[in-house]
A and B are shown apart, each in its own frame.
Chain A
Amino acid sequence: MWKNYLKVAFYSFKKGKLFSLFNLLGLTLGITCSLLIFLWVQDESAVDTFHQDSEQLHYVYTTQTIDGEVSGGLYTPALLPAEIKKKIPEIALATGIAWSTETTFSVENQTHKLRGNHTGEDFFKIFSYPLLAGDASTVLKKPESIVISRHMAELFFGSPQQALGKTIRYEDRKDLQVTGVFENLPAHSSLQFDCLLTWQAFMDDNWWTQDWGNKGPSTVVKLKKGADPEAVAAKIKDFLLAYDDDQSETFRTELGLFPFAKMYLYSNFENGHPYNGRIDYIRIFSIVALFILVIAGINFMNLTTAASLRRGKEVGLRKVMGAYRASLIKQFLAEAFLMCSLAVLLALGLVQLCLPSFNILTEKQIAIPWAAPYFMLSLFTFLLLMGLFSGSYPAFFLSSLKPVSILKGTLKFGRNALLIRRGLVVFQFTLSLLLIIGTFVVSQQVRFIQSEHLGYNRENLLYIPIEGDLGEKYPLFKEQALAVPGVEQVAKLGQSVTSIDNGTGGVNWDGKDPNSKVQFTHLSVGYDFLETLQLELVAGRTFREDYATDTAAYLVNEAALAIIPYEDPVGKRLAFWGREGKIIGVLKDFHFNSFHHQIEPLVVRLGEAEEGWDGMMAVRIKTEETQKALATLETIATKLNPAFPFTYQFAEEAHQRLYRSESIISKLSRLFAGLAIFIACLGLLGLSIFSIQQRTKEIGVRKVLGASVARIIQLMSSDFVRLTLLAYLLAVPLSWYVMNDWLSDFVYRINLLDHWYIFMYTGVAMFFITLLTIIVQTYKAATLNPATVLKDE
């Protein structure tokens, strides 16, 4: 029996080759697309969940209220981990985690730049990063210890075992002893580093960490088994009051707990607490995947039903020959399952093929989890559901027909079935339009980000870190660099202007409320910074070498003047960290953070002669001489600072990195929108074939009565054009609402009203795509010889 089913299924597939191929293609693409999204969502959700006792691990975050303004973040005082572990009995372990920075390490003749971080003694007891050598409880005990990755161990010493006990030179100023080697970090770890140095070393290198008022590193705690995180959070809420003297009515810092494993997805803060973030994209894409799958399923059902109409005769004959209804249902379901299985197999192959490119696109290392039972189980469940969903309608409908009416050729679907089918077309087109408009808006915003003038010129601007001897020899470097053809300007910078995040409440001016702790961003710069960055001055002047008093002079931006109410600020008093001075100039506002953030008030001070400088320099070069200039700069830097490899970064690159997720989302949505519209078109094609099949007699009659080809095409297309128009009318307000909501995350964003044409173009494009899809079919129907059609009657 089953053999016969398969045989008939194969035969009917072959008979309607093009139709069957369309059907298979649509379903395969739908499954491929959803599978890719599913794998991506799986991968995103798996980040940081691999740690043992993961539910006991929590980030301590801070909620700051300054003059009524609430903000939040993971920055905590460096003294917090040790103290909180001591004072709160429910906390079993605690560690601080600084930040991963490119650091120079050398062993004998080998020098490499690797990502180094600082962390506390409990680190390897809290997190499940397996140690290949060394003891988790002691590896970070001695201040001069360093724990390195397998990769780093192999790089310097050949193997993890050989690395243990060896010495590594750090930043050419300190020798560290390898006390442990950990396995290379999995891609699913949000923390990424090549080596870890001790917390003591971090505190020693950063004087400001001794003060409870300064926050920067993050703190992770492991609660004791059974401890209630909410109760602990309530307990530590006012923990800092006892330590930070600055806490007052107008300046409050509270602590909170947030699950470590969830922080990757909820890294945005709202009202001072973690709220959304990447989870938004997970939700959006999960919905997209579901929609695409539903669209593909609907189409599959539509096309199968349409194809089955041609098989009315077969069904009628089978019934006449004595087939039971049940056996016919089985036959059609078997065919649907066969088709779905084929689509799933093809989709798996396609996903396997696409994964390398998809991984590049999403910057991930996703693989199909062949061995995971849940994966196979969900695939099988999906197959079962899809087969039932798509095969049931044709199966039950066709098998219910009376043999006489089928054999007489009066097979026709009722009005309700047609209405449902049209509703489904409107649904999938609304969805595709939503995706297309969404994609356009995201691309426009990304383009806006990329092209918007930041207030400084980021083209041909280089950042070179000042490290090792370069700090001391900076004047010499600058002098030699400026002599290189192609180098236009050189200036010291405390931080890259792409993202300045130094905050302080230590700014004073005449008339300031003594209780106010209003926060300013601050940047330390060297001479010529204005010219190098090509910033604009609104008033006054910049720092000049011939003004000795400029060491106590400040520049502020326009945003700062919204807080400092000086009418004519140049020459007025300003004190920074207690150092009295004068405002000498006002900078036109420029973006020194992502477009998600408002331009903050900024104070710029002169740090040309500061000692222990760990910033960088900005170098402006000419476009046409970039390569030559870079080569010469490398020679100069290597000569002056031989212990450190020469590294640099283009400001443009740093800027793009700020919008990494937007850029990925933009690419992903483009891909999925394209696929969705393609699948929707296949559905439309199916429906038009179906509808034409149903109206062949009508077309014949109309032609006999004198209707021209154009009139028939118009008649047959108008229905579909109406349906897409309806979908368009639904999609426009919906997409407007959704995309406006997405854009509201950006302080600096495009205005949808200015981009009305996106909506218009999408509509026009959709109209043409609809016509193009159905025109071949309607043309075929319209040019059909009416004699053939009416003969069938």
Chain B
Amino acid sequence: MIRLADIKKIYRTTEVETSALNGVSLTIQQGEFVSIMGPSGCGKSTLLNILGLIDSPSEGEYYFGDLEVAKYSESKRADIRKGNIGFIFQSFNLIDELNVFENVELALIYTDMKSKNRKERVMAVLEKMNMTHRMKHYPQQLSGGQQQRVAIARAIVNRPKLILADEPTGNLDTKNGEDVMQLLTQLNEEGTTIIMVTHSPHDAEYGQRIINVLDGKIVSENKLKAFQNASPS
């Protein structure tokens, strides 16, 4: 589903040049659950952003399915993003001014889906996340765990093939963290590809393999479970 070949990401200011990714090559199959680990500043979030098409690499090739997207413009990347990729962030990134329903609906608004269909889709996802009773609430009225459930609802409402999670349990207590990981596992079992960045070895073990990043490079890879391609791509 995803193939990265010798990806580099260099940040330049007038005085300094920082290399965030330094020749990353990686292949991810459809339906895989991959954990990415590494210390702070190692480049894992940059990698996730490039994988999620919200940032573009400075060099290298990036195949998303059959498309070579490394040189795509922002608007083309946005087109691919909105139908295929869902995002989950450590700090949830819900919009304070919108209620739960509207936050989830936001992901569908940019796909030009009809209002009636949108409503049905959002309600179904909220039900799945067990958040229907809170749909009129605003983010600041919810607990961290609930906020992350809303964020996951928003990420999956589009039925994306790929979910990118950037430390999804980082701001949660153990109990809520566990719930979130169960949800992700469930989504993966239903066929969604998941790539997750985490600091937590415990969470990482939910994946089928763990990729370790250091100084912008993949330094090792641990295969935890055998991966069976559940659905044909």
Interface residues of A (CB under 8 A from B): 697-698, 700-709, 711, 783, 785-787, 790-791, 793
Contact = CB atoms under 8 A, between A and B. Distances in A.
B89 A706 contact: no
A704 B78 CA distance: 7
Nearest to A408: B91
B55 A785 contact: yes
Residue from A698, A705, A711 whose CB has the most chain B CB atoms within 10 Å:
A705
A703 B97 CA distance: 16
Nearest to A785: B55
B49 A705 contact: no
B221 interface: no
Contacts of B95: 697-698, 701-702
B93 A703 contact: no
Interface string B55-85: 1000000000000000000110011011100
A330 B11 CA distance: 39
Contact of B106 (A702, A708, A793): A702
Contacts of A786: 54
A706 B110 contact: yes
B10 to A, nearest CB: 14
Contacts, number: 60
Nearest to A788: B55
Given A704-B52, A709-B74, A790-B54, 10 more contacts: A701-B106, A705-B82, A705-B154, A706-B79, A706-B83, A709-B75, A711-B110, A791-B49, A793-B91, A793-B93
Nearest to A410: B91
B78 A706 contact: yes
Contacts of A793: 89-91, 93
B78 A701 contact: no
A22 B110 CA distance: 36
B87 interface: yes
B45 A791 contact: yes
Given A783-B74, A793-B89, A705 B54 contact: no
A716 to B, nearest CB: 13
Would you list the 4 A-B pairs with minimal beta carbon distance, nearest first? A706-B82, A787-B55, A706-B110, A787-B49
A705 B154 CA distance: 9
B89 A703 contact: no
A691 to B, nearest CB: 12
Contacts of A703: 54, 78
B143 interface: no
Nearest to A711: B110
B168 to A, nearest CB: 13
B111 interface: yes
Contacts of B37: none
Interface string B90-113: 110111010000000011001100
Interface in B197-218: none
Contact of A705 (B46, B90, B97, B106): B106
Contacts of A698: 95, 97
A711 B45 CA distance: 26
Contacts of B82: 705-706
A785 B54 contact: yes
Contacts of A711: 110
Contacts of A791: 45, 49
Contacts of B91: 793
Given A698-B95, A787-B55, A704 B110 contact: no
B153 to A, nearest CB: 13
Residue from B49, B90, B97, B154 whose CB has the most chain A CB atoms within 10 Å:
B49
A708 B78 contact: yes
A705 B110 contact: yes
B74 A790 contact: no
B75 A790 contact: no
B110 A697 contact: no
8 contacts: A697-B95, A701-B93, A701-B94, A707-B78, A708-B75, A785-B74, A793-B89, A793-B90
Given A709-B75, A787-B49, A790-B93, A704 B54 contact: yes
Nearest to B93: A701
A787 B51 CA distance: 11
Contacts of B74: 709, 783, 785
Contacts of A704: 52, 54, 81, 87, 93
A690 to B, nearest CB: 16
A198 to B, nearest CB: 83
A706 B94 CA distance: 15
B180 to A, nearest CB: 18
Given A704-B52, A787-B54, A697 B93 contact: yes
B124 to A, nearest CB: 18
Contacts of A707: 78, 110
A705 B75 contact: no
A217 to B, nearest CB: 74
A702 B91 CA distance: 15
Contacts of B81: 704-706
A787 B81 CA distance: 13
Contacts of A783: 74
A705 B45 contact: no
Contacts of B52: 704
Contacts of B55: 785, 787
A362 B95 CA distance: 55
Contacts of A701: 93-95, 106
Contacts of A706: 78-79, 81-83, 107, 110-111
A704 B87 CA distance: 8
Interface string B178-198: 000000000000000000000
B101 to A, nearest CB: 15
Interface string B121-142: 0000000000000000000000
A790 B93 CA distance: 8
Given A783-B74, A787-B49, A705 B89 contact: no
A698 B97 CA distance: 9
A772 to B, nearest CB: 23
Contacts of A700: 93
Interface string B30-50: 000000000000000110010
A711 B75 CA distance: 11
Nearest to B108: A705
Nearest to B98: A698
A702 B111 CA distance: 12
A56 B142 CA distance: 78
Contacts of A697: 93, 95
A713 B122 CA distance: 26
Nearest to A793: B91
